Structure formats: C-alpha cells, structure tokens
Amino acid sequence: MSKKIILTGDRPTGKLHLGHYVGSLRERVRLQNSNEYDEIYIMIADAQALTDHAGTPAAVRENIFEVALDYLGVGLDPQRSTIFIQSQLPQLFELTTYYMNLVTVSRLERNPTVKAEIAQKGFETSIPAGFLCYPVSQAADITAFDATTVPVGEDQTPMLEQTREIVRKFNDVYGGGQSILIEPDILLPSSDVCKRLPGLDGKAKMSKTLGNAIYLSDEADVVAQKVQTMYTDPTHIKVSDPGHVEGNVVFTYLDAFCSDTATVTEMKEHYQRGGLGDVKVKKYLIEVLEETLEPIRRRRKAYEHRPDEVMSMLRTGTTKARNKAAEVLARVKRSMKINYFD
C-alpha cells in the first residue's frame, strides 16, 4: 500500500491567530493524533515569506521562533510531526528551478490568490519575480515529500490546483508512463465558518495586516478586551430588540469554537426573539475561547522559556526533512536524465 503523507506549513510573517487555528492548525493536530498518516511534515515557509518581505529578514527570523511556539502550543508533537525550516532545504529550490520550465508566466498571473495578494500589496507595477513564482516553489514543497494530503485553508486552493498541474505535466514529460511525482489532495476545513473566520470587525478575513485578529499568544485579558470590541448587529440597540445572527461575528465565533451546539442554537433563538444582550453573548464567547486558548497559552509559555529546546527540535526536524527531500530529488533527477555522475 502506498503511504499517506501530509505536508503543510505557514509563512512566518507574524504570530498565528484564531483564523489559522480553525482553518488549519486544529485539523493538523487532529490528523496527527488520528495515527492515520505514515509521515507528517510541517514547514515554516521562511523562503516564501521572503518573496514579499525581502527587505525585512530579521522579522522573518524572529517569527520562525514565534510560529514554532504556536505549533508546539496547539499540540503538534515533534515526535509525530516533523517540523522544519524551508530555507534550509536546498532540494526545494532545485525542484523549483526544474518545475519553472513547466509553467507559463500567464498561468502564474492567473492564480487568483496571487492576484489578490498583488492588489493588496500594491505590487501591480513591480511584482517581484520570486513572488509571482511562489506557487511553483510551493509545488516543490509538496512534491518533495511525496505528500498525498495537504491540509490548508481555502485561500490555498489555487496553489494545490497549480501543484497538480505541475505534477501531471512533469509525469507526462519525464515519467515515460510512470508517476514520478505524486498528485496531492487538498484537505479543507469541513465547515464554512472555519474556512474563512472573519476578523473582529466583521471583515471577510482575520489578518495581521487588517489588525482584526486574536492571537494564540494573546493573554486572557487581551482576548476579553478584543471580544468586547467585536462587531455584532448594529440594529440591535436595546436588549429587548430582536437581533440578527448572520454576519454577527460573536455568533460566527461561537459556531467555530463552541462544541455545545445546543446552547448556541438556543442563544441564537433568544437573540433573534429579543431579550438577549450582546454583553451576555460576548461573556459566553470569552469563556468558550478560553477553554481552547488557556491550554495553548500555557504550553506555549513553557516552551518560550526553553528556547534552546525549541531550536534543537527545529534542527532535528530540518535534518529529517532534508533527507526525505534529497531522496525525492534524486528520483526526479534520474527521471530527467540529469544524474550524470550516478
């Protein structure tokens, strides 16, 4: 039987927040603990972060540590999930170079996520070539581990499509009827709320740039304060007024975080009838969030005080990942007949 292998990761451009948690981290931990996978690789994508942060490498470096703490905090276990740093695997960049020949510039320009990012960053007239090509590098990240499953948020769907295209093209050109590379499947969060958690302000997406995020590392009082500022229903003025739950961020978060769905349903009904105030719902949400966040915060802090242990975990994971990628690269080069000295 062929192996089941997971590869996924995050750009270290900041600490991870609740959007990352419900969109991907929670699922990763569940998959890790399900013992259904033969190998799991979790990559800190610093080289990808540099494609749009070339001028601030010190920040990227600092965030590698923060993201590692977030991983350990949510319960990723280095014994079962290999956590590594992308830039330390030259194999990934060799693969990228070869894949680049199989992709057209116009195809890259059509990638909807890249397009949205270009607009958001104001790159229109000066797109860094590395940025435009990061989906190719992402195909290298995935295929270098023979990944079969890539658990990610919905915004990564175009990357997976592009990866699958590259795999098919590669196998077609160099495979001689054989599958040299494995075509991966995307694994999206099961519920719509978790696919795209809105920000505190009700904007479509929780993000560092928009300043509307709750971080996994936020202290309890900060979380409570942020929940107080959450967007609810502007037409719900008096407690007795009937309120709306659609687009009401507090209820959206309850849907994403509260396992007691009966209580949430009851609260929604009460709110819609009138007579349930925002203060009460927010208070309940704070309790619900703390159930998730308290243990994460505690574990995260414990590791924060043991930085040497965290760095050594990253070093071990990176060595292991490099060995795996080297095997796959050797296979790729053989298939391309560029193994002159074998």
What is the smallest separation between the CB atom of 156 and ligand TRP, expressed in angstroms? 6
Looking at beta carbons only, is 107 or 208 nearer to ligand TRP? 208
Taking CB under 6 A as the binding criterion, the range among 122-130, 137-145, 167-175, 224-232 that sits at the site for ligand TRP is 137-145
Tokens standing for residue 94:
């060799």
What's the Cα-to-Cα distance from 98 to each of 3, 43, 70, 163, 203, rounded to whole Å? 25, 21, 33, 13, 39
Which residues have a Cβ under 8 Å from the Cβ of 306 and sit 6 or more positions away?
A: none
Site string for ligand TRP, 33-62 (x = CB under 6 A): ------------x--x--------------
Taking CB under 6 A as the binding criterion, the range among 8-16, 172-180, 211-219, 225-233 that sits at the site for ligand TRP is 8-16
Whole-angstrom Cα distance, residue 249 to residue 255? 10
Number of residues forming the site for ligand TRP (CB under 6 A): 13
When computed from its CA atoms, the radius of gyration of the chain, rounded to whole angstroms, is: 22
- Using Cβ positions, the residue closest to ligand TRP within the complex turns out to be 45
What is the smallest separation between the CB atom of 183 and ligand TRP, expressed in angstroms? 14
* Residue 8 sits in the site that holds ligand TRP (CB under 6 A): yes
Side chain identity at 109, as an amino acid letter?
E
What is the smallest separation between the CB atom of 110 and ligand TRP, expressed in angstroms? 17
What is the smallest separation between the CB atom of 219 and ligand TRP, expressed in angstroms? 25
Side chain identity at 174, as an amino acid letter?
Y
Taking CB under 6 A as the binding criterion, the range among 4-12, 103-111, 169-177, 332-340 that sits at the site for ligand TRP is 4-12
Which residues have a Cβ under 8 Å from the Cβ of 170 and sit 6 or more positions away?
A: 99, 102, 180, 181, 332
Query: What's the N-to-C CA distance of the chain in angstroms?
Result: 29
Looking at beta carbons only, is 32 or 156 nearer to ligand TRP? 156
* Residue 142 sits in the site that holds ligand TRP (CB under 6 A): yes
* Residue 217 sits in the site that holds ligand TRP (CB under 6 A): no
Pairing outcome for strands 39-44 and 82-85: parallel
* Residue 150 sits in the site that holds ligand TRP (CB under 6 A): yes
Whole-angstrom Cα distance, residue 52 to residue 209? 13
- Three-state secondary structure along 62-90? HHHHHHHHHHHHHCCCCCCCEEEEHHHCH
Choose, by CB under 6 A, the member of 5, 9, 91, 108 that binds ligand TRP: 9
What is the smallest separation between the CB atom of 38 and ligand TRP, expressed in angstroms? 18
Q: Which helix (H) or strand (E) holds 6?
A: strand 5-10
Choose, by CB under 6 A, the member of 5, 6, 10, 28 that binds ligand TRP: 10
Tokens standing for residue 7:
């590869």
* Residue 28 sits in the site that holds ligand TRP (CB under 6 A): no
Whole-angstrom Cα distance, residue 223 to residue 137? 36
Taking CB under 6 A as the binding criterion, the range among 9-17, 57-65, 93-101, 254-262 that sits at the site for ligand TRP is 9-17
* Residue 138 sits in the site that holds ligand TRP (CB under 6 A): yes
Would you tell me which residues interact with ligand TRP (CB under 6 A)?
7-11, 45, 48, 138, 141-142, 150, 152, 156
